[in-house]
Chains A and B, each alone.
Chain A
Amino acid sequence: MKTETMKECIHIEHLNFSYEGEEMVLRDVNLVASSGESIGLIGANGIGKSTLLKLLVGLDLHYEGKLEIATHPMTKENLNHIREHIGYVFQDSDSQLFMTTVEEDVAFGPQNYGLSPEEVEERVQYALSKVHLTDLRKKHIYKMSGGEKKLASIATILAMRPDIVLMDEPSVALDPRNRRRLINILNEMPQMKLIASHDLDFILDTCERTILMDEGTIIFDGKTSEVMRDKDLLELHGLELPLRFQD
C-alpha cells in the first residue's frame, strides 16, 4: 500500500509502442510504481516485456502516451538525468560487462558522471559489498562464472546509486545456489525493482506485486500471491503455475 513517504518512480499512461512499420508491441499500458516496491513482470515470450523495460530506460523514444521516470518525462533532453535514477540489468551479462576487470566495469558509470576518484572508489566498494563480490574486484570478467557475472552486472548498476532497478530475466542460467544468492541480494536492495521473468517461483520470492502481460497489454496488476495461484488465468496467457504450487 502506498504511504506518504513513497515517491512515484514510474508513471505510465496510455502507452503505445510499435517498431517502425510493424504491428503494435505495447497497447494502452498504464502503470504507476512507487519507491521501495518490488514488481514482477510476467508473460509468455514476445509479449513486450523487454520492450517495456527498454522504453523505461529510454533506449527507444518513439512511443505514444505518457511516460515519466521520477517525475521527469521521458524525452531526449531528460535522458541523462533519468539514467541517473534508473539502472537496467541486461539478460545477457556478457553484453553488459565490457571492461577487463570487475572493478573497472563497476567504476565505468560513476567515472562517466564525473565523480572524483575517491567517490568512484567509494561507490565501487559499496556496490561490490552489496553483491558480496568484494573479494573478486580484481578478477577478469572472462574468468568469472555465469552467477558471478550476473552479480557483477548488478554491481555495475548499484554503483550508479539508482532509485529504480530494472531486470530482464535475472535468474536465467543460474544454478540453485546462485539463484538463492540473487534472491537474497534482491530482497536486501531498497530500490524500486521491476523484474521481467518467466521464472514464476523467482518472482514469488522477490516481488510482492506482479503485472501479467499478454499481447502488449496489462492483463493483471495486483498481489503476486493472488496471480500465482490463479491457474486458469496463467494458462490462458501462456504460463503455468509456479513449480511449488503444482501437484
Chain B
Amino acid sequence: MSKIQNNLREVKKLNELQQREGILNGLHPVVKLVTTILYILVLVSFPKYQVVPCFVMCIYLILLFSLGDLSIRDGIRRMKLILPLVCVVGIFNPFFDHTPITRVGGYVLTGGMLSMLSLMMKGIYAVLASYLLIATTSIEDICYALRWFHVPKILVTVILLIDRYFFILGEEAGRMMDAYKLRAPKQNGIHYKAWGPLVGQWLLRSMDRAEMVYESMSLRGFQGEFRYGKRRHFRWRDFVYLMAWVMVFWLLRFTNILEWIG
C-alpha cells in the first residue's frame, strides 16, 4: 500500500472515531467548538516566560483524552506532520534572549529557553486540542457549529467540499502511484520525466471524479447548501461541560491557584 493510501486510511480512522458513541461524541458540537477555541485562546494568552502555568494546561488534554477513550500516542502520530513545525517555531529563541530568569539546580534558565519551551508547549497543546475536536466531532457537525455562529454559508460549504474532494484527490493519487510502482519496480520514487504526465493526469482524473460527485449531489437536490449534521438541542450536560471548563480556564489563567496548592 502506498504512503498516500496509508495516510488516507489514517484520516478514515478519524472518521470512525467521530462516529463512536461516547460522552465527548455526544456533546453538542457548538459547545465542543467553543471549548476548544477558549482553550487555545487562554493557552496562547499566557506570558512567554510562564512555563509552569502553561504546562498545567495539559490537564484539559489528559482529562479529555481519557474521557473520550482516545490514545495520546495515536493523536501525536496522526499529527506528526504538523507537530515538528510547531516545535521549531521558537527554536532560535535561546540564541537571542539571554536574560536570566530563574535557576533550576545549578543552571540558569534564560528567557530564550523559557519562551522556547512555552511556545513549544502552546503549539503541541493547541494541535492536540484540535485533534480532540476532530476526533470526536464529524466535519458536518463542525460545519453546523460554524453556521450556528453565522460563519458565511459559502465559507462553510467550501470547508465541507474541501473535505469531500480531499479524499477524491487522495484516492486518485494513491491509485496512480500504485499503477506507476507496479510498472517501475526498480525505481526509487518517481522519475522526473514522469512527474508532468502524472500530475496532469491526476488533476484531470480528479476533476472528472469531482464532477461526477457533484452531479450525484445535484441529482439529489443539492443547491449549494449542505444540511450540516443532525440538528441537536442543547442539553444540561452541554451547559455543565462548558461552564466547568470556563471555570477551570479562568482559575488557571487569572488566579494564583498553583501557588495556593503549593
Contacts and interface: CB of A to CB of B under 8 A. Distances in A.
Nearest to A57: B219
Nearest to A159: B220
Contact of A140 (B19, B219, B221, B222): B19
A246 interface: no
A156 interface: yes
A69 to B, nearest CB: 13
B221 A98 contact: no
Given A111-B227, A140-B12, A80 B221 contact: yes
A100 B220 contact: no
Contacts of A138: 19
Interface stretch (A84-92, A192-200, A208-216): A84-92
A124 interface: no
Nearest to A92: B212
12 contacts: A59-B219, A83-B220, A88-B219, A95-B209, A95-B216, A96-B212, A98-B164, A109-B220, A112-B221, A112-B227, A138-B19, A156-B220
Interface string B8-24: 00001001101100000
A220 interface: no
B223 interface: yes
Given A98-B164, A140-B16, A87 B219 contact: yes
B193 interface: no
A98 B213 contact: yes
A108 interface: yes
Interface string B193-217: 0000000000000000100110111
A112 B15 contact: no
Contacts of B215: 59, 90
Nearest to B228: A111
Nearest to A113: B221
B216 A90 contact: yes
Contacts of B73: none
A235 B19 CA distance: 52
Nearest to A156: B220
Nearest to B227: A111
A125 interface: no
Interface residues of B, number: 24
B16 A83 contact: no
Contacts, number: 58
Nearest to B225: A112
B138 interface: yes
A26 interface: no
B19 A160 contact: no
Given A80-B221, A113-B221, A98 B216 contact: yes
B15 A100 contact: yes
A98 B219 contact: no
Contacts of A112: 220-223, 227
B183 interface: no
Interface string B98-126: 00000000000000000000000000000
Nearest to A87: B219
A117 interface: yes
A95 B164 CA distance: 11
A63 interface: no
- The 5 A-B residue pairs with the shortest CB-CB distance in the complex, in nearest-first order: A112-B221, A109-B220, A95-B212, A111-B227, A96-B216
Interface string B217-240: 111111100010011000000000
Interface centre among B16, B164, B212, B221 (most CB of A within 10 A): B221
A53 B257 CA distance: 69
Interface string B164-195: 10000001000000000000000000000000
A142 interface: yes
Nearest to B229: A104
B213 A95 contact: yes
